Amino acid sequence: MIAERIRQLASAYAADTIAIRHHLHAHPELSYKEYETSKYIQQKLAALGIPITIMAGTGVVGLIAGNDPSSRTIALRADIDALPIHEENKVPYRSVNDGVMHACGHDVHTSCLLGAARILQETRQEWTGTVKLIFQPGEERNPGGASIMIREGVLEKPNPELIVGMHVNPQLETGKLSFRGGKVMASADEIYITVKGKGGHAAAPHQTTDVILVASHIVVALQQIVSRNNNPFSPSVLSICSFNGGYTTNVIPHEVKLMGTFRAMDEAWRSKAHELIRQQVESVAKGMGAEIELHIDVGYPNVYNDEKLHVIAMAKAAEFMGQERVEETELRMGAEDFGYYSQKIPGCFFRLGTGNRKKGISSGVHTPTFDIDEDAIEIGMSMMAFFGATLRIT
């Protein structure tokens, strides 16, 4: 009965929820600066009569009590920040904040959770337990809003037994969901290297320490970290993505800056790799007469979907959506700070299909032309509501 009730309400509230998405998309805010977004979410929850708590500056937490509230608590999470990208879409709800865009679908996640909150609040006499709504800031920027929310007690009072998060997938057609058990997404660390030496005239390299050459050797040497030290059955990536030094054709500079990323699926290997990176960079620089400054900004842990919860959640999704609309998602080397939650309590992070090639909607996330097939909104809000009303692991 609750499944059909949720379907009916999701259909009835879909247009309103799409309007919420349009507002959020048009007014994006960067990580930890989501002031107006936070106020908007608070207003929507307050209008529904849902009590709220503010955390991590701009984060919002709501509680919906069903029958027998202490019998179980489940957390539903959405992220609310946007990216520093200039939007190129020519749509009525295009970003009005120049250079800022919801290019990763966080406007979709937030609107779907607000839609689910409306459904759950209206049906709270028809299900048991408590649903904790987590609207989290700063997913796109270290240290990750999730880590701050956890530190401030978001997983306490009441303590959720599990947490569910959703992410748009423009490569998956609208109408479908995808799940994966175990390791789902990689950890992500940022690498910053400064190579320092004696600059000088390019015609007299013997009187300099050629930091361009040193930095080049470091880039090549770092590729051995993964290829010759990591278990090939455990995915890992080390990429140097920025090489900055010099300003003309005939001067060897005194400094070169490198930036890159390190991704891993295994926390033990992640820790070991950090030490190997440091050893490799320092030894190359010392051997070539240069000095280095190395900083590894430790980012999000890998996202791990609890195996038992995964089986239960996938079965629930098939029950609600139909087996033919539920798929297995691929392993991804992208990162998500949902990993902080899944390291603490059983988590389920699934994908919402938002693409529609017939409509020309296929641009990837983090691009200036990203958009969604908005038929996905009704699916996302109803699935989150159904999980909130029925999912449990014990």
- How many whole angstroms separate alpha carbon 269 and alpha carbon 267? 5
Q: Give every strand in the sheet of 255-264, ordered side by side.
A: 236-245, 255-264, 187-196, 291-297
Q: Which residues pair with 348 in a beta bridge?
A: 164
Three-state secondary structure call for residue 130: strand
Spatial CB neighbours of 370, under 8 Å, sequence gap ≥ 6: 89, 101, 103, 104, 105, 170, 363, 364
The DSSP code sequence of 233-258 is TS-EEEEEEEEEE--SSSEE-SEEEE
Nearest by Cα to 137 from 106, 94, 165: 106
Active-site position among 139, 173, 306, 378: 139
- How many whole angstroms separate alpha carbon 78 and alpha carbon 358? 28
| Amino acid (1-letter code) at residue 10 | A
Backbone phi, psi, residue 109, to 5°:
-60, -45
| Residue whose entry in the numeric block shows the structure tokens 């920025």 | 242
Does residue 81 carry a catalytic annotation?
Answer: yes
In terms of DSSP H, where are the helices of the chain?
A: 2-26, 35-47, 106-122, 145-151, 211-229, 267-287, 307-321, 338-342, 375-390
Whether omega for the bond prior to residue 158 falls within 30 degrees of 0, making it cis, is yes
Helices 211-229 and 267-287: angle between axes, nearest 10 degrees: 150
DSSP-assigned letter for residue 51: -
Whether omega for the bond prior to residue 28 falls within 30 degrees of 0, making it cis, is no
Active-site position among 29, 34, 79, 81: 81
Does residue 266 carry a catalytic annotation?
Answer: no
Spatial CB neighbours of 330, under 8 Å, sequence gap ≥ 6: 180
List residues with catalytic annotation.
81, 139
